[in-house]
Amino acid sequence: MSVPWVLVGGLALRAYMPERMTLDVDILVHERDSARAQQALVAAGYRVTGELSIGGFSVQSADDAEPPIDVLTRADHWLDAALAAPTLDPAGYPVLGRAYLLLLKLQAGRTQDLADVQRLLARTALAERAAILQLVEQESPELREDYESLCTLADLEFGPPPEQGGQL
């Protein structure tokens, strides 16, 4: 039985905009699937190298030829639906939908994640921005002002958002 997963780190960005350099692969699985994901990766030749402070674990290929993989685990109520309907990146890998990816990066609050949010917003139409705002208000209302500020910064740096659809 396979484990549903999606890309959520730097590689995930390529589904929505030009990707940025990253040294690892970040994937997200449901918390209840953590043990099965770990077993599957070990069976595929990876070794567990540690636990993540934010929930999940890291693995590395046995020969160290591949980049490390951070397997993030969460149990958000929306996660099953998001895992069932991923966006595909240009290589065909499943990526967390833009709204949820923005939410996760906003919640993480690290400098690189906030920069990613700003760049993602630059290519997000006004109607989609409004839907993302609703998601932020529902899941992390304390981040509303941060989200709105990042929208403003995206507009100042990249120009006004497209009226409809996103652009790559």
What CATH architecture is 1-96? 2-Layer Sandwich (3.30)
Instruction: Output the six-digit token pair for 161.
Output: 């958002």
Quote the CA–CA distance of 46 and 95 in Å, as a whole number. 22
Going 154 to 165 to 75 to 116, the CA torsion angle's sign is negative
Please provide residue 53's backbone torsions phi and psi, each rounded to the nearest 5 degrees: -65, -20
The enclosing H or E element of 120 equals helix 111-121
Contact between 122 and 157 (Cβ < 8 Å): yes
| pLDDT, tens digit (0-9, with 9 covering 90-100), for 92-133 | 999 999 999 999 999 999 999 999 999 999 979 999 999 999
- Whole-prediction pTM value? 0.91
Q: What is the mean pLDDT of residues 49-68?
A: 93
Report helix, strand or coil for 73.
strand
Instruction: Output the six-digit token pair for 27.
Output: 């994937």
Quote the CA–CA distance of 58 and 69 in Å, as a whole number. 6
Structural domain spans, the chain: 1-96, 98-168
Q: Does 165 have pLDDT greater than 70?
A: no
- pLDDT band, very low/low/confident/very high, at 162 (cuts 50, 70, 90): confident
Instruction: Output the six-digit token pair for 52.
Output: 């993540």
Contact between 103 and 132 (Cβ < 8 Å): yes
Quote the CA–CA distance of 59 and 70 in Å, as a whole number. 7
